[in-house]
Structure 1
Amino acid sequence: MPDLPPHIGIDRPGSFSRSVFHERHPVLIANLLADHPYPPHIAEALEALLAESLAGTVPPRTPGGPEIHTWHLEIAAHAGRPWDSLPFLWAEAYFYRRLLRAVEFHHYESPWCGVDPFAPQKRAQLDGPELRTDLDAYASLEGAAPDDRRRALLLAALWGNQADLGFRTNNPDADTANGDLVADDSDALWALADAPGDAPVIVVADNAGREITADLALVDHLLETGTGPVELHLKPHPYFVSDATGRDVVDTLDALDRDPHQAVRDLAGRLRDAIRLGWLRLRSHGAYVHPTDYRTLPSDLAEEFAAAKLVILKGDLNYRRLVGDRQWDPTTPFAQAAGYFPGPVAALRTAKSDLAVGVDPARLAKLDADAPDWRLTGTRAFIQVKA
């Protein structure tokens, strides 16, 4: 196997990855302190984490909570390193794990145990005008031609990734109204999803709020069209700002139940029935909150992926974990970067980080000339498939 490119780091001044720590995270911490009446010791722990991540080193302590064996090994490999020498993906995952420790999310004797620090932001999106627009659009699909409806639901799930609350932390006014596809392997995606057989289609979710709502509509379509059972894989606990958990799915279904559109309420009813009957299986795994990419998948999850008809990975973080958060030449074929994956895989992702693969060279030249920051704005998207 050829050598992989170097990891994207957070050490280069002016880079996007560095700005996440020096610009996004300070706003994120301020938002948490505004959203919750945290006592002084939790507020101090959050401020200390922020200061450490900007100018400190990784301490030898293993952060508490589940998956402790994995974190013990990861900390042993990185303890003592300055934060700005860490790989971007690892450093981000570690920051959020430490954040959960600071707010005592896994501390069973704390009244803050199990309190999702990002819940107020998630609830605001479920109650917001953008979701209202999304649900109006969903209801308008009644009576649409089957191919048009299918295309609309796939694109809604794709562009729902623009609603990433981490991205919007320091880009609250980002113009995501327009966008275009850099790569579109949707025909290959449907060929795999529609293939005969009882193997499940696995959808690995990314964000709560508007994105998981669109994902659930896509899941409903997969079930309606008889592709077989569907598994929706979720985070076992809060991770990055708006990552979807089982609690978020329940909250979303409750919101759909209250919608004025009968079509939306019917959607919620079908999804609840599918869960009860076992056609829609909600699943989680500790690997989804590991600080590593999918080349190090635990054997049980790798076997599930290998046995699936298709794995659909949603969002920018899953994309980074799939191809590796590395300094790829953007023209590297997607099938090459994701070739190790144990089964057929499709990535649905809006670009909100430096990473890109599978870009046609002529298209890349035009993108770089017309909008040099095209990889960061959330207005370009990818539907890419490795069969």
Structure 2
Amino acid sequence: MAKPPASLSGQDVGSFAYLTIKDRAPQILTKAIDTLHRHKSEFFEKYGEAGVEAEKKAISLLSKLRNELQTDKPIIPLVEKCVDTDMWNQYLEHHQSLLKESDETPRWFYSPWLLVECYMYRRIHEAVIQSPPIDDFDVFKESKTQSFFESQESVIALCTYLQELVRTIEDLDENQLKNEFFKLLQISLWGNKCDLSLSAGEASSQKTNVLNSLQDLKPFILVNDMEHLWSLLSNCKKSEKTSIRVAIVLDNSGFELVTDFILADFLLSSKLANEIHFYGKSIPWFVSDTTVRDFNWLIDQVKCSNHKWMSKCGVDWENDVKMGRWVYHDHIFWTLPHEYCVMSQVAPDLYAELQKAHLILFKGDLNYRKLTGDRKWGFSIPFHEALNGFHPAPLCSIRTLKAELQVGLQPGQAEQLMASDPTWLTTGKYGIFQYDGPL
């Protein structure tokens, strides 16, 4: 196989990677510092003087990190012993060995963007865990919570729609069922617009009822492989497999997670699947990514709502978890800097777990970057080729575009987009359902 192209990197001045490292990353760090500072009295109430000292320590570690980033210092190994520390440090060493010829050391602007961005979030985590007794504090929790509460009306609209749909689902013919499946897939796609790392942690909630906008948003779907998903799952259902397993590799918590839950609920209710396996992050990540705490918190919030259809959803979802129809997994691999084509070597247990799925849905931009190695692929390179050998099961990327990376487009499609909308790759305005699997 030909050598894959170079990684996206901050050394391309003016690129989205460059602007992320130069502007968005320091803003995210500043916001994390500010969050710790605002919780000072709470830490004092909880832990006394030790809490205040811990807050000072975490802030000083984050300020040091921000300074390293802004002055393009070398990337240093992790120091705090965790389950993934050695794997991280080996990866950094490996990256350094690739630079041997040029006598360079890995630095913020001259290393692969995927590596430095993941490294920053891992260092944020390190700063917090090095500061007991506040070492389980999630610096992003407030932003995630706010985004959920600001999206209340949209959440209520979706829960109401779902409950009405589920009540009559037995009466739908095949075509109606397919239309509902496509509708809920699109809701899950546009839910991916609510990404706090893109807005550098600024509020990014869903204020409108996305159900009313689906028709208007259709032209913005650049690759639409929904038909493949339908034929795959409806064939599984027709062959009366004892168990149809769909895996959803999650992205953002808050509103997007609600849209993923709605889709998962529909898959079970329509018998297109009978177990849903969710994969989330084991530590706070990319501001709004889902952890097990966010997953459980969201189900609780929905259940405790005083809106009857919303709380009914929460009760159902809690029950799905209890009965094992919904299973949440986390794994350290999701917060390593590796691209997915090495998963079978680096995390064979996770790869084997994904192989049990009939379909894997990868939500969001970071998953897409890791699926394709975050490289400078040509726009019309086939998705299958960019996956570089990663094929645990039939899979589909569901993402809105927030990085200068997209493969599998028709010849000329990217040029047309560029002419009409120069920022088409990075604003989250366009989306894809991009499938890879036996057709």
TM-score by length of 2: 0.82
* TM-aligned CA deviation for residue 77 of structure 1: 2.3
Letter in 1 for 2:383: F
- Is the counterpart of residue 295 in structure 1 residue 348 in structure 2? no
Partner of 2:414: 364
Partner of 1:190: 230
Counterpart of 1:238 in 2: which secondary structure? coil
Deviates most, 358-367 or 238-247: 358-367
Are 2:154 and 1:133 equivalent residues in the alignment? Answer: yes
Distance 1:160 1:256 in 2: 17
1:336 maps to 2:385: yes
| Pairwise CA RMSD | 2.2
Residue identity matched to 2:30? A
CA shift, 1:62, in A, is 4.2
> CA, structure 1 residues 85+62, in 2 after alignment: closer, same or farther (shift >3 Å)?
farther
Alpha-carbon distance between aligned partners in 2 of 1:304 and 1:365, rounded to the nearest angstrom: 39
- Given that 1:162 and 1:176 are in contact with CA atoms closer than 8 Å, whether structure 2 keeps it comes out as no
Q: Is the 8 A contact 1:58 1:78 kept in 2?
A: no
Provide the residue aligned with 1:53 in structure 2: 69
Q: CA deviation at 1:187?
A: 1.1
For 1:58 and 1:284, locate their aligned partners in 2 and report how far apart those are by CA, in whole Å: 27
The question of 1:233 aligning with 2:255 is answered no
Match for 1:76: what amino acid?
E
Aligned position for 1:215: 260
Do the aligned partners of residues 78 and 338 (structure 1) sit closer, same or farther apart at CA in structure 2, a change above 3 Å counting? closer
**Distance of 1:148 and 1:311 partners within structure 2:** 20
What do residues 169-222 of structure 1 show as CA deviations (whole Å, max 9, x unaligned)?
A: 277689998741001101111222331422421110011111111111111111
Is the contact between residue 161 and residue 349 of structure 1 (CA under 8 Å) also seen in structure 2?
Answer: yes
Structure with max Cα Rg: 2
Is 1:200 aligned to 2:245, yes or no? yes
CA distance in 2, matches of 1:379, 1:203: 22
Please report how far the alpha carbon of residue 290 of structure 1 lies from its aligned counterpart in structure 2 after TM superposition: 0.7
| Same amino acid, percent of matched pairs | 27
- Whether 2:288 is the aligned partner of 1:271: answer no
Are residue 19 (structure 1) and residue 19 (structure 2) matched? yes
Structure 1 residues 173 and 233 mapped into 2: Cα distance closer, same or farther (>3 Å)?
closer
Give the Cα separation in 1 of the matches to 2:330 and 2:204.
Answer: 33
Does residue 313 of the first structure (1) align with residue 362 of the second (2)?
yes
Aligned mate of 2:143, from 95, 105, 121: 121
User: Partner residue of 1:66?
Assistant: 83
Q: CA deviation at 1:168?
A: 1.5
The one-character-per-residue Cα deviations of 1:71-94 (angstroms, maximum 9, x if unpaired) are: 131132245322222101011111
Instruction: Choose the corresponding residue for 1:154, options 170, 185, 195.
Output: 185
Q: 1:318 to 1:137 in 2, by over 3 A?
A: same
- Contact 1:139-1:261 within 8 A present in 2 as well: no
2:5 aligned partner, one-letter code: P
Bigger mean CA deviation after superposition, 1-10 or 74-83: 74-83
- C-alpha distance in 2 between matches for 1:69 and 1:193: 40
Q: Is the 8 A contact 2:195 2:252 kept in 1?
A: yes
Cα distance in structure 1, aligned partners of 2:285 and 2:18: 19
| Aligned pair partner of 1:89 in 114, 118, 138 | 114
- Aligned residues of 2:36 and 2:59 also touching (Cα < 8 A): no
Gaps of 5+ in 1: none
- 1:131 & 1:64 partners in 2: Cα distance? 40
SS in 2 for 1:155: helix
